[in-house]
Amino acid sequence: MSKYVIEGGKRLVGEITIGGAKNSALPILAASVITNGVSTIFNIPKIKDVNVMEQILKSIGCKVNRVDNIMTIDSRPFSKIKIPEDLVREMRSSIILMGAMLARCGQVEISYPGGCDIGPRPIDLHLKALKELGADIKEAHGYIYCCTEQLKGCEIQLDYPSVGATENIMLAAVRAKGTTIIRNAAKEPEIVDLQNFLNAAGARIYGAGTSAIRIDGVEKLHGVEHTVIPDRIVAGTFMVASAITGGEVILKNIEVEHLSSIIAKLKEAGCKIYNNCTTLKIIGPKRPNAVESIRTLPYPGFPTDMQAQMIALLSLANGTSIVCETIFENRFKHVDELVRMGAKIKTEGRVAIIKGVKELTGAKVTAKDLRGGAALVLAGLAAKGTTIIENIYHIDRGYQDFEKDLASLGADIKKIF
């Protein structure tokens, strides 16, 4: 398996252009199934999860052509309702194909999804909502079979503002008969991007980005051209990379509003940040300040996908910080690996208490999940000596050419195959 070898202590300086958002590209690619036409998606990141989604689309009959960061999907040849189990188990986001395929042909067969092991992520909200829309769902032997003669619009009250459930409902309801209203909907920017794609294809969706989304069902959708929004988590990761190395990094092609909660906490940690709408400059401090409290919350709160990276930064802070993880209960797997590098962190349930140390030291560590793996890379950039990170296939799921971008900023990092 490939691994990263990092010689720490290099200050990062330079410019980086942020690519398309993984968590936006995947549901949009799923939505292309509904169009029964040709769609061209720009700013598609070259990452493992997108590769898996591409294979899934091909497996159900779609024609996919990919050149650099542009993907063209012809969903007219769509012919199969069963999604291969091996692909579903590689990526949790495959579950959003349920809504898309119900909208397209009224049936789908899919196994329970995989992805990072960061705690229970039940799909009961997805299944409950699809049943309310009129889907008949049977579960047996690890598979879910959904079918319907006609989905019908209804009002759906989500018990929790789940991003995946919100997306699945939008995809299913777009061709349902009548009007669907989602209450307590997720507000993430990726939801807005999905709405923009679907509306450009002929859908009638209103309210994405708020807690109430209205979908008026339409007879059909058509192919469309669309550009995926920048990845706010990748941007946040590079912001922390600059902060943890005392660097000076400029990020281009960003949406500053999507980063407001991250910016606030990094300023609290002592970073200097200057920005306009699409560009941001972050200057890291000589040593970070401790942050009294970080609590992960649904958007626009502090993102759970940035929790691990911030813990890496705060492990070097002057003082004690507290991080509370409210989204996923098993998302502190990176802590034991950071402790191997000299960090002083204690976890109690969903709370991590980080007592900052003056320096981290290089060690051999293992990435346990996507964002935790990225946090270990950041720690390695600041650590004294050599850090070796194994199982980096997790990191490849969400970061395009991560080591090349870091090296362009002055990091001493190599990917060994």
Q: Say whether 371 counts as a known binding-site residue.
A: no
Give 22-227's CATH code, choosing from 3.40.50.300, 3.20.20.370, 3.65.10.10, 3.30.70.100: 3.65.10.10
Q: Where in the chain is the domain with CATH 3.65.10.10?
A: 3-19+230-416, 22-227
Please tell me what DSSP assigns to residue 277.
Answer: S
Please say whether the beta carbons of 416 and 41 come within 8 A.
no
**pLDDT score recorded for residue 92:** 77
3-19+230-416 CATH fold = UDP-n-acetylglucosamine1-carboxyvinyl-transferase; Chain (3.65.10)
Q: In this structure, is the dihedral angle defined by the CA atoms of residues 337, 313, 327 and 45, taken in order, positive or negative?
A: negative
> What distance in Å separates the CA atoms of residue 56 and residue 67, rounded to the nearest whole number?
18
Residues in the chain: 417
Q: Say whether 344 counts as a known binding-site residue.
A: no
Phi, psi of 107 (to 5 degrees): -160, 155
Q: Say whether 121 counts as a known binding-site residue.
A: yes
> What distance in Å separates the CA atoms of residue 221 and residue 148, rounded to the nearest whole number?
19
Closest CA to 65 of 40, 94, 99: 40
Pairing of strands 38-42, 225-227: parallel
Q: Say whether 298 counts as a known binding-site residue.
A: no
Q: Say whether 69 counts as a known binding-site residue.
A: no
Q: Which two tokens stand for residue 3?
A: 């691994």
**pLDDT score recorded for residue 118:** 52
Please say whether the beta carbons of 226 and 197 come within 8 A.
yes
Q: Which residues have CB under 8 Å from 214's CB, separation 6+? A: 179, 180, 181, 205, 206, 207
> What distance in Å separates the CA atoms of residue 151 and residue 114, rounded to the nearest whole number?
27
Q: Return the HEC string of 150-212.
A: CCECCEEECCCCCHHHHHHHHHHHCCCECEEEEECCCCCHHHHHHHHHHHHCCCEEECECECE
Kindly write down the DSSP assignment for every residue of 14-31, as one continuous string: EEEE--B-HHHHHHHHHH
Closest CA to 297 of 323, 335, 330, 271: 323
**pLDDT score recorded for residue 121:** 52
Per annotation, catalytic residue among 62, 116, 146, 271: 116
> What distance in Å separates the CA atoms of residue 338 and residue 335, rounded to the nearest whole number?
5
pLDDT tens digits in sequence order for the chain, 417 residues long? 899 999 999 999 999 999 999 999 999 999 999 999 999 999 999 999 999 999 999 999 999 999 999 999 999 999 999 999 899 888 878 899 999 999 999 999 998 876 565 554 568 899 999 999 999 999 888 889 999 999 999 999 999 999 999 999 999 999 999 999 999 999 999 999 999 999 999 999 999 999 999 999 999 999 999 999 999 999 999 999 999 999 999 999 999 999 999 999 999 999 999 999 999 999 999 999 999 999 999 999 999 999 999 999 999 999 999 999 999 878 899 999 999 999 999 999 999 999 999 999 999 999 999 999 999 999 999 999 999 999 999 999 999 999 999 999 999 999 999
Please tell me what DSSP assigns to residue 95.
Answer: G
- Please tell me the pTM assigned to this model: 0.96
> What distance in Å separates the CA atoms of residue 304 and residue 301, rounded to the nearest whole number?
9
Q: Say whether 124 counts as a known binding-site residue.
A: yes
Q: Say whether 251 counts as a known binding-site residue.
A: no
Q: Tell me, yes or no, if 116 is annotated catalytic.
A: yes
> What distance in Å separates the CA atoms of residue 194 and residue 394, rounded to the nearest whole number?
25
Pairing of strands 212-216, 225-227: unpaired
Q: Say whether 66 counts as a known binding-site residue.
A: no
Please say whether the beta carbons of 33 and 57 come within 8 A.
yes
**pLDDT score recorded for residue 159:** 93
Closest CA to 283 of 11, 19, 9: 11
Please say whether the beta carbons of 273 and 280 come within 8 A.
yes
Please say whether the beta carbons of 282 and 243 come within 8 A.
yes
Helix (H/G/I), strand (E/B), else coil: 135: coil
> What distance in Å separates the CA atoms of residue 128 and residue 139, rounded to the nearest whole number?
13
**pLDDT score recorded for residue 94:** 87
Class of residue 122 by CB neighbours under 10 A (exposed 0-12, middle 13-18, buried 19+): exposed
Q: Say whether 327 counts as a known binding-site residue.
A: yes
Closest CA to 114 of 139, 141, 142: 142
Q: Which two tokens stand for residue 399?
A: 């970061």
Kindly write down the DSSP assignment for every residue of 328-349, as one continuous string: -TT--HHHHHHHHTT-EEEEET
Q: Which residues have CB under 8 Å from 188's CB, separation 6+? A: 23, 163, 298, 299
**pLDDT score recorded for residue 120:** 47
